[in-house]
Amino acid sequence: MIIIVSLLVLMMFVSAIAALLFKDLISAVIAACMVSLIAAILFYLLQAPDVAMAEASIGAALVTAVFIIAIKRTKRYEE
């Protein structure tokens, strides 16, 4: 049990550092979406199903959509 939680926290760190290092902004947004999804799994393991549902629907779907619409209207590559 503790090994599963440690692996999930490690995957969350790797995704967050990938969001730091990517130069293509759409790839960085998808890495941030993955951080939100793994946080939703951790909320469920901490016995909070309401918060897990809210984080999965708002943080992982609507925030990513709003970011991609904003990137479409400005530049795509960070220089």
Partner 1 sequence: MSFLQDYIYYIGAFGLVFIGLFIMLTKHNLIKVIIGLSILETGVNLFLISVGYITNGTAPIFSKPGLDISTMVDPVPQALVLTAIVIGLAVLALALSLSIAAYKHFGTLDLRKIKEQRW
Partner 2 sequence: MKKIIVIVLLSIIALGIFASLQQIPFGKSKSKVGKYYLQNSKEETGASNVVTSVVVGYRGFDTLGEITVLFLATIGLGAVLATFKKKENGQPEKASLILTTGCRFLFPLILLFGSYIFIFGHLSPGGGFQGGAVIASAFLLIYLGCRGKRVNKVGSSVLESLGGLVFIVLGLVGLTLGGHYYLSNFLPKGEYNTLFSAGIIPLIYIAIGLKVGSELSGIIDLMMEETR
Work out how close the CB of 32 gets to partner 2 at its nearest, in angstroms, rounded to a whole number: 17
Burial 31-61 (b: 16+ CB within 10 A, else e): bbbbbbbbbbbbbeeeeeeeebeebbeebbe
Work out how close the CB of 73 gets to partner 1 at its nearest, in angstroms, rounded to a whole number: 5
Between the two ends of the chain, the Cα-to-Cα distance in Å is 43
Q: 61 contacts which partner out of partner 2, partner 1, none, CB within 5 to 8 A by kind?
A: partner 2
**Interacting residues with partner 2 (CB under 8 A):** 49-50, 53-54, 57-58, 61-62, 65-66, 69-70, 73
